[in-house]
Amino acid sequence: MPQPTVVSYARTYPVPVEQAFDSVLSMPLEQMFSRRHGPIPAVRGTVPDQPTWDTVGNSRTIRLADGGSLHEELTRVDRPRAFGYTLDDIHGPMKPLASHIEGLFTFEADGAGTRISWSWALYPKSLLSRPLLPVFGRIWQGSARKAFDNIGTALPTG
């Protein structure tokens, strides 16, 4: 298997670790990824829209604003430290870039708050797409920043 390109983003919020974990894991994707960033579209919803998203093996299809879609499967739930997932069956502009993506959110105490880190390991679709993944990764950083803005707005305060 080819080596992935790994990208990550992190931010600290003034909430307890358990609260941050529970809020991010249960946050609707269309709320977290409500805005397009360059070629990365907003999320319009998920199918099935499961009432809970907290068990390894849960899966759903993510519908994107540009008509694309991705299959997501929850691969790790280690409350309150981390949760991970795999994205595959990619349709839309990312299809020629990545065969699959392994995502991971981690949560750790940071002073009086929680440091949330998010990473993607992008596995190239082909030898031709491999050199494009670092460029995509730089664009992904802007999308991650917008997602973390939305997380900050949605986290309970006080």
**Total structural domains within the chain:** 1
CATH number at 70 reads: 3.30.530.20
Cα 112 to its chain centre, rounded Å, is 25
Confidence at residue 120, expressed as pLDDT on a 0 to 100 scale: 97
Note down pLDDT in tens along the chain; length 158 residues: 679 999 999 999 999 999 999 999 999 999 999 999 998 999 999 998 666 789 999 999 999 999 999 999 999 999 999 999 999 999 988 899 999 999 999 999 999 999 999 999 999 999 999 999 999 999 999 999 999 999 999 998 75
Confidence at residue 93, expressed as pLDDT on a 0 to 100 scale: 82
Q: How far is CA 27 from CA 3, 14, 40, 49, 148, in A?
A: 30, 18, 19, 12, 12
Domain of 78? 5-154
Confidence at residue 56, expressed as pLDDT on a 0 to 100 scale: 95
**Which one, of 135, 148, 150, lies nearest residue 7 by Cα?**
135
